[in-house]
Amino acid sequence: MAKRDYYEVLGVPKTATLDEIKKAYKKLAKQYHPDLNPDSKTAEDKFKEVNEAYETLSDENMRARYDQFGHNDPGSGGFGGGGGGFDAGQFGGFGDIFESFFGGGFGGQTAANPTGPARGSDLRVDISIAFEEAAKGLEREIKIVRMENCTSCNGSGAAPGTQAKRCPTCGGSGKVRMAQNTPFGQFQTVRTCNTCKGEGTIVERPCPTCSGSGRVRRERTLKVNIPAGVETGSRLRMSGEGESGHKGGPPGDLYIYISVLPHKFFKRQEDDVLYELSISITKAALGCEVEVPTLEGDAKLTIPEGTQSGTTFRMRGRGFPKLRGRGKGDQKVTVKVVVPTRLTEEQKQILAQLDHSLSVPQEEKKGFFNKVFK
């Protein structure tokens, strides 16, 4: 299947701002989240597609590169979920890709030295947390599987007590030069050495623990501190918790992508919590004091007399902590006045009496007719 355009995946124009991209991502991530679509392979695929598109378009550098090269970026491949083995780590993180590419290394030779130290691959974990957890922050244990340096051989791949030898074919450079005769003359080509697969060294007695690869797959449990105020699309980075580097290179990073699950009755808008409060027409007319649920338990809210449906009250400091900066958002309570249905005869009579004594001011009536019949 051909890869879809990232902008198309998120349904945003190429000129979209970061905010628009975030908004589109949040909506789609929620829609296709695996927790909300159990057993749906389609949703799972969509979720992955959406995340991948967001990953690229939310990062200024990666987006610029995507705009330039599309899916055929010659320097991509650093961000892998593993499985790529040694090669995946060759270019290291995004910063490295960027530099090595523009550093002029593009062409006949690989920019990074293939036999030298290379940074480990970055890893990615998706976790979902409850609405309240996003407000309070939490510590969560996560399980990851990553390639680590084999401790038996310290990553060399050679059996303990033995050493990897310099490759006799390429003399340790990992590359061989070949002269090729063509009708246009002789060409020199540089190829990866077949004997050592570009490693520059040969292991004669492979380490029994890692079968000579120098790396082993390990499951690790890590504690992650998720700060209060995160939202869907927030990305945490745990420095150095990615895969081990190659030949003494630094490890990659672990990225944790957060999805916040929807709440039964709260909604979120930036750092504010939105809540809809239903009250009766009598309470709206007479005013009342009500208990309103907030992120920190019930709190009193005074509804003044004569409150109209759709009025919003602000409960200061009852929202989400601001992820950057201090303070908290508010809780916005929007009143919905509920017109009663199924009245008893007695209630109907009381309302009828009330109707006699109430009259809508003439001014408002005029305004209404002007609007409608002009």
Q: Distance (Å, rounded) from C-alpha 195 to C-alpha 344?
A: 92
- Please give the structure tokens belonging to residue 290: 């009500």
Residue with Cβ nearer Zn ion (40 or 163): 163
CA-closest candidate to residue 273, choices 242, 311, 241, 313: 313
Q: Does 170 bind Zn ion (CB under 5 A)?
A: yes
The yes or no reply on residue 62 touching Zn ion (CB under 5 A) is no
CA 278 to chain centre: 35
Residue 192 interacts with Zn ion (CB under 5 A)?
A: no
CB-based contact 215:149 (threshold 8 Å): yes
Which positions from 146 to 165 touch Zn ion by CB under 5 A, shown as an x/- string? ----x-xx------------
For Zn ion, which is the closer residue by CB, 214 or 229? 214
Residue 212 vs 319, nearer CB to Zn ion: 212
Nearest CB to Zn ion, comparing residues 244 and 259: 244
Interface segment toward Zn ion; rule CB under 5 A; list 32-40, 110-118, 169-177, 222-230: 169-177
Least gap, CB of 159 to Zn ion (angstroms): 8
306 backbone φψ class: left, alpha, beta (φ>0; ψ -120 to 50): left
> Residues 144, 147, 149, 152: is their CA dihedral positive or negative?
positive
**Does 169 participate in binding Zn ion (rule CB under 5 A)?**
yes
User: Looking at 9, 12, 125, 196, which residue binds Zn ion (CB under 5 A)?
Assistant: 196
Cβ distance 87 to 120 under 8 Å?
Answer: no
- The mark string for 202-221 relative to Zn ion (x by CB under 5 A, - otherwise) is -----x-xx-----------
Binding mask 98-137 for Zn ion (x = CB under 5 A): ----------------------------------------
Q: How many residues bind Zn ion (CB under 5 A)?
A: 12
Looking only at residues 258 through 297 of this chain, which bind Zn ion when binding is defined by CB under 5 A?
none
Helix 18-32 vs helix 41-57: angle between axes, to the nearest 10 degrees? 160
Question: Which residue number, 251 or 319, has a Cβ lying nearer to Zn ion?
Answer: 251
Q: Is 167 in the site for Zn ion (CB under 5 A)?
A: yes
Cβ contacts of 294-299, under 8 Å, gap ≥ 24: 294/318, 294/331, 295/132, 295/135, 295/136, 295/266, 295/319, 295/320, 295/331
Other Cβ atoms less than 10 A from the Cβ of 356: the count is 7
Contacting positions for Zn ion (CB under 5 A): 150, 152-153, 167, 169-170, 193, 195-196, 207, 209-210
